[in-house]
Chains A and B, each alone.
Chain A
């Protein structure tokens, strides 16, 4: 893509040539462009296979709801003309018994139980119990309604039927509803979950503000550093760049563990504080296992992502610009703000974008030093993938995060592409 830009820039001398020369130049350019495209082909292919396809898979997973339609086809058919007000008719009960009978033989009733339990806690036991007990019924009873209600009273009430009806559709918004801390009430109406169960919106919010804080901190720390390095003579600058890059190349886990050694309650920092008499031994401040720890460690971990783009932009700004401004009477500060700083904006933009986008998806640091109030949304996604196995909800949360990131990305591209951003 970049190659294309350079070629057109190099194509300038053509204006002076004859039409024949122009045509052959254009041909050469086209060839070059094709060559450049072919060169990027492996990357495009790689991105498609390793990124786009899994991404589409995730989006599909966040709306897919195939369990009940696949494993309870008779029930789905029987409930298709249920009015949803009274209890369903006898044929729906018989259909449930028949479907669970098949699921018992195929060992698939656990899948139904798991899916329903995600929406209505306690359904796991209900489905398992009903499956085992109804499998023991040898001859078809006169009324499956009476039989199922005998097995568990829940079959004589509406919620389970409302749920089955809702889960009959092969696509669902359930996971997104859960991802914004909402649920269906027993009457089937959307409502917010009780306040003590709200977790996803607060987590999105916390992930957002902490990422902003981390981004601001890396900018405040990284900008002067990058400026300083960019003004150093070559040999010293290289040495300083190694100092920046060395932690960047060090394993993330090693760096986090080093921070744990520093910050834990009997760690280096606390011991120095206690040793110097600044705090008493039984009032050691909590420096990790909270939001503070997450912010400190992530700021250090992500700092190179801010310094590197800033440095590369600053390096390209000749000293003569600021000197020129000063020679024309500007105060050095004014020269810095009006001449130098605006020229570094692309670096600021790239650094901020990079750090912020990395932050909102960060997992390992909040997991290890976040404790109880320093966790991010990704930790909850991991929980849903690994522990509760509710991959639909994990996919919905992941999709929301992806969409938010994309909006920010497009927004930034729009702002920086259209018009200059000013700091003031």
Chain B
């Protein structure tokens, strides 16, 4: 202070500034400490299973269909963690620190395959670790082809429980003379005016851009793997840009539709279903071009024997034909087992027994022919690069 007084005008020393910086740094570190403590607490839970999923209505359906019956049967409780959004990153961090705190994790197929091939997931032997169908069909044949993955036809790291669609939905109030039926309609801003809600990621948007530009459904990924195809997709997306409003959380698009911010929005089919069935919103689906992908369980590698045993037992329980059918009462996502589909005939929504679930299932035979199978391997290979270009395109 004294030195600065001699300067006459600036009574602050470099030391004061350093102290200021240090306190700011302390603040930041404190929040890091906070998250660390959170992780510890989750780990210390011991007798409980640490189950990580996506939260919301989806995790609710898992609690109702898998967890409650399992607790009733075995007495084992659950610690529900809603962190699947960052699942791959957090699991990688747990693996690197050597403290695996999660017992079973809900994950997208592409991420799961990638982690399994990095040795971070427990190997699952299909016909040994999973139950047969009620008629005795082994698991490998009962699960829809492509829904068990990571390895080969004997074992792998990932078991799908459901498939879901990312697809367009619209507000019927905005189109009294009938809403859009195809992806081409979604791109028709004259006939179907209004803003479009789109997810702020390249996946989906690029496929639909090509599809709307006339590329056949089964050729989309071949085209998109070429530089010319990527250019074509972005050129088509350019026409969308002035009409687009971007979302990043699954809860947003139904809200945007309800508030009239947009007239058409891409969304997870379960969210639109919820808005219709539970909230009575005047929404409808554009089944054409619905992009379906798998979602399911992984068990982290390197669990201690007792936790591994429980995790594998729960995996078997929750992927049984019965559990998967039960789940479909709570949410409009398709079960991965064919035998579950066969039992779904008159299944109704848990809140309203007038609503049958079958017409809302994205991979039901009716809808499958209109859908596009999202290619996990394509996005593993080209995801980082396309995401960078997409982000640059958004910002430009």
Residues of A contacting B19 in the complex (Cβ-Cβ under 8 angstroms): 1-2
Does A180 make an interface contact (CB < 8 A)?
no
Does B355 make an interface contact (CB < 8 A)?
no
A198, B385: Cα distance in complex, Å: 11
Which residues of A (38-91) have their CB < 8 Å from a CB of B?
Answer: 43, 46-47, 50-51, 54
Contact residue among B8, B118, B380 (Cβ-Cβ distance under 8 Å from A107): B118
**Is A353 a contact of B116 with CB atoms below 8 Å?**
no
Pick the most buried of A47, A118, A199, A206: most chain B CB atoms within 10 A of its CB.
A199
**Is A265 a contact of B26 with CB atoms below 8 Å?**
no
Pick the most buried of B26, B381, B396: most chain A CB atoms within 10 A of its CB.
B381
**Is B384 a contact of A128 with CB atoms below 8 Å?**
no
**Is B13 a contact of A386 with CB atoms below 8 Å?**
no
Residues of A contacting B200 in the complex (Cβ-Cβ under 8 angstroms): 372
Residues of B contacting A240 in the complex (Cβ-Cβ under 8 angstroms): none
Does A378 make an interface contact (CB < 8 A)?
no
**Is A196 a contact of B377 with CB atoms below 8 Å?**
no
Contact residue among B12, B86, B118, B394 (Cβ-Cβ distance under 8 Å from A386): B86
Residues of B contacting A202 in the complex (Cβ-Cβ under 8 angstroms): 392, 395
Does A337 make an interface contact (CB < 8 A)?
no
Beyond A111-B118, A121-B384, is A5–B26 a contact (Cβ under 8 Å)? no
Residues of B contacting A253 in the complex (Cβ-Cβ under 8 angstroms): none
Residues of B contacting A373 in the complex (Cβ-Cβ under 8 angstroms): 394-395
Residues of A contacting B21 in the complex (Cβ-Cβ under 8 angstroms): 409
**Is B392 a contact of A199 with CB atoms below 8 Å?**
yes
A326-343 toward B: CB 8 Å interface, digit per residue (1/0)? 000000000000000011
**Is B114 a contact of A110 with CB atoms below 8 Å?**
yes
Residues of B contacting A27 in the complex (Cβ-Cβ under 8 angstroms): none
Who on chain B is nearest to A106 by CB? B119
Q: List the one stretch of A160-168, A209-217, A229-237, A387-395 in contact with chain B.
A: A387-395
Which residues of A (343-375) have their CB < 8 Å from a CB of B?
Answer: 343, 345-346, 349-350, 353-354, 357-358, 367, 371-373, 375
Beyond A107-B119, A345-B9, is A51–B25 a contact (Cβ under 8 Å)? yes
**Is A416 a contact of B32 with CB atoms below 8 Å?**
no
**Is A46 a contact of B26 with CB atoms below 8 Å?**
yes
**Is B12 a contact of A420 with CB atoms below 8 Å?**
no
Contact residue among A114, A266, A375, A416 (Cβ-Cβ distance under 8 Å from B395): A375
Beyond A47-B26, A108-B119, is A289–B246 a contact (Cβ under 8 Å)? yes
A388-418 toward B: CB 8 Å interface, digit per residue (1/0)? 1110000000000000000001001100110
**8 interchain residue pairs of minimum CB distance:** A110-B117, A346-B12, A107-B119, A50-B29, A110-B118, A121-B385, A372-B394, A199-B392
The contact sample of 22 A-B pairs, CB cut-off 8 A, is A1-B18, A1-B19, A9-B1, A47-B29, A51-B28, A108-B118, A111-B119, A117-B381, A118-B384, A122-B381, A125-B380, A197-B385, A199-B391, A350-B16, A357-B24, A372-B395, A373-B394, A383-B391, A389-B92, A413-B14, A416-B10, A416-B14
Interface residues of B (CB under 8 A from A): 1-2, 7-22, 24-26, 28-30, 32-33, 85-86, 88-89, 92, 114-119, 200, 234, 245-246, 248, 259-261, 377, 380-385, 387-389, 391-396
